[in-house]
Amino acid sequence: MMERIHAQDAIGNWIKGVDVFAVAYSAADFNKLGKFWGSYTMPPILTRIYPLIADNRHWLSKTPLPYVFNKILRMCAPSSSAFN
């Protein structure tokens, strides 16, 4: 269970992989990112890429990707967010 992301909703259903990101971003009011991760066209692509990212997450954290992702989060953040 530690190899890939898992989440449990309020009802008790387990969600895993790419679907967790769509649900989590939407629940946190990051609607643009939630729609991106949950769109019709992106999940097939993201589902194939996600295992590579998950398997290499420690190495990727040492690259500029966290900085880039932080900038994307700030751009997509709701206006009342603490990011602003």
In a domain, 1, yes or no: no
In a domain, 39, yes or no: yes
User: What are 57-67's pLDDT values in tens digits?
Assistant: 889 889 998 88
In a domain, 84, yes or no: no
Nearest Cα to Cα of residue 35 among 24, 44, 49, 47: 24
> Does the pLDDT at position 2 exceed 70?
no
In a domain, 83, yes or no: no
Mean pLDDT value across the chain? 83
Q: What is the DSSP string of 23-56?
A: HHHHHTT-HHHHHHHHSSSHHHHHHHHHHHHHHT
Q: Quote the number of domains for the chain.
A: 1
User: What are 20-76's pLDDT values in tens digits?
Assistant: 988 888 888 888 888 888 888 887 888 888 888 888 888 988 999 888 888 888 888
The alpha-carbon radius of gyration of the chain (Å, integer) is 14
> Does the pLDDT at position 78 exceed 70?
yes
In a domain, 16, yes or no: yes
Q: Which domain holds residue 63?
A: 6-76
